[in-house]
Amino acid sequence: MPPIVVVVGSLHYDILLEAPHLPARGETVTGQSWRPKFGGKGGNQALAARAAGAEVRFVGCTGRDVFGRALRARLAAAGIDADRIAESELATGISVAICEPTGDYGAAIVSGANLSLDPDGLAEPALWRGAQALVLQNEIPETANRAAATAARRAGLTVILNAAPMRHMAPDLLAAVDMLIVNAVEAAAQSGQPVGDLDTALAAARALTRQVPTAIVTAGGAGVAWAGRFGAGSRPAERVPVVSTHGAGDCFTGTLAATHAAGAALAQAIAQASRAAARHVAAPADYSSPGTP
């Protein structure tokens, strides 16, 4: 039987712009193209976990609009249980990202309906029955993250928090987290340790284990480092042509959750997640278009 991963998180209808560089303050940049993309860290991670072989149950919130319908249809088309996605009077969350030729990007999000996610429904026993892992991010209210983590911990699941975007997290939330995944910037903010290569990423991961049992620090083109209850180590990044890094971290997190939930050792799950993220960086256009609403 495939592992069951529960994802509680955000959904955004993304607009990706291709431009020669990010605009400076007051500057208008002429871009080359744009396209819609299925997004939200929660939605991206759910698709990645599904692609890695997991059965996925998704909890989130969209608006009562064409964008929300498009996002829910994309999850359903991937075989994800989207029955627990609520609808809000607020508009569906949206993101606009400007991608440079180097593959780097800058983005702005409007959370919209994601902020309406009701924590009360997360106590439903059927949501957790038979599941092995919960995946959370910081694009929904902390009250929802805390309720989900508490319920999942009570049901015996591994709780995985991708703490992005970085924000203050209450001690009771961190106390319910088994595995923290952060990038270099987030790791530095949370641990106080600057991250610039694999050695400093490993040092930051070790520092973060004072807050959570296991910490994983993704350091972009340098690779990934981890420390905690499953040991410590690092792995250089896969060498691939970089088309776009947008969504690569979500691909890593979802793949790792599915692989670890299936019984793989953490180092093996990280290796598989790194390979999946590298494939995504090299060919992001094939990943998750939502279609046009």
Positions marked active-site: 250
- Judged by phi (left if over 0) then psi (alpha if -120 to 50, else beta), residue 227 lies in beta
Q: Residue 292: helix, strand or coil by DSSP?
A: coil
Specify the residue for token string 């340098």.
222
| Gap between the Cα atoms of 59 and 66, Å rounded | 19
CA distance 41 to 43: 6
Task: Classify strands 12-18 and 93-99 as parallel, antiparallel or unpaired.
Answer: parallel
Secondary structure class of 196 (helix, strand, coil) = coil
Q: Is the dihedral of CA 144, 155, 164, 12 positive or negative?
A: negative
Structural contact between residues 197 and 219, judged by C-beta atoms closer than 8 angstroms: yes
CA-wise closest residue to 213 among 226, 223, 200: 226
* Neighbour-count burial for 31-61, b at 16+ CB within 10 Å, e otherwise: eeeeebbbbbbbbbbbbbbbbbebbbbbbbb
161 secondary structure, DSSP code: E
